[in-house]
Every structure is written in structure tokens, then in C-alpha cells.
Structure 1
Amino acid sequence: METRKRSILKAVIWNLIGLAMMALVGLIATGSVAVGGTMALINSAIGLTFYVVYERIWAKIGWGRTHA
């Protein structure tokens, strides 16, 4: 089982990668750094929240795990 700290750190790092990609896509799509950045921040906040919840739910599910 993962600790909460590990789950959160993984989510933050993944979201930073996603934030950079979404900002780039937003910039390309709109031509505006401000609009692209705002889109990326909103997407990252929502994504981070749901990713942490998703990971914590799966951490409690024993199905498919092996205990060596």
C-alpha cells in the first residue's frame, strides 16, 4: 500500500508535466499566454484533485494484488 505522501507527490509531478503540456496546447490554440495558462491551471487543479482521489480509492482495493 502506498502512503498518502507518495500518492500526492506522484500526482503533483504528473500534474506539473500535464500543466506544461496544457499550457503549450492552450498557447498554440489561442495564441495567448494568459488564456493558455489559465486553461492549464484550471485543468491541473481539477486533474490533481481527481487523480489523488482515484489513487486513494485504488490503494484500498486488494483485487489483483499478490502478497509475496
Structure 2
Amino acid sequence: MQEKAYRSAVKTLSWRAVGTLDTMVISFLITGSLAMAASIGSIEVFTKMVLYYLHERAWTRIGIGLHRPTGDDYQI
């Protein structure tokens, strides 16, 4: 099975929403400043989206853990 690029893009967006919220909460707990937490979160949301997307696309080219069905495979 092969993943399409748009699937990686949707996964990127959903994961970044979770990750950025986490970063902002941690930043707020450390700094005590909502403005600083929002600033940190707004910067990292873009950099980590790009990195995740590139990481995800690289993994579509790696065959580790993928099973390619053959004609002898039993399917229900």
C-alpha cells in the first residue's frame, strides 16, 4: 500500500495542532508568560510542520515494516 502526499499533509496538520498546544503549555509553565508561550508556539508550528512533512515523505520511500501482498496471500 502506498500513501499519497496529501495524507502526509493532513497528518502533518493534525499532529502539529497537538504538538504546538503541548509546546505552548510547557512554555507557559516554564516562563509564566502567555505572550512568550504564544510566541514560541507560533514559531515552532511552522518549522516543525516542514520537518514532519519531510520526515513523513522520506518514510514512504523506506520499506522497513511494509508487507507487499503476493498472489499466495490468503484474504478474507
Normalized against structure 2, the TM-score is what?
0.80
| Distance in 2 (alpha carbons) for counterparts of 1:20 and 1:11 | 14
| Distance in 2 (alpha carbons) for counterparts of 1:63 and 1:13 | 24
Q: CA deviation at 1:51?
A: 0.5
The structure richer in helix per residue is 1
**Could you list the per-position Cα deviations for residues 40-59 of structure 1 after superposition, in whole angstroms to 9, with x for gaps in the alignment?**
12122111101100111111
| Distance in 2 (alpha carbons) for counterparts of 1:27 and 1:12 | 22
User: Over aligned residue pairs, what C-alpha RMSD do you find?
Assistant: 1.1
User: Which residue of the partner structure matches residue 46 of structure 1?
Assistant: 47
| Distance in 2 (alpha carbons) for counterparts of 1:2 and 1:34 | 38
| Distance in 1 (alpha carbons) for counterparts of 2:23 and 2:30 | 10
Pair member with larger Rg: 2
**Identity between Structure 1 and Structure 2 (%):** 26
Normalized against structure 1, the TM-score is what?
0.89
Aligned pairs, number:
68
Question: SS state of the match for residue 57, structure 2?
Answer: helix
Q: CA deviation at 1:64?
A: 3.5
Gap runs ≥5 in structure 2: 70-76
Q: CA deviation at 1:63?
A: 3.8
Gap runs ≥5 in structure 1: none
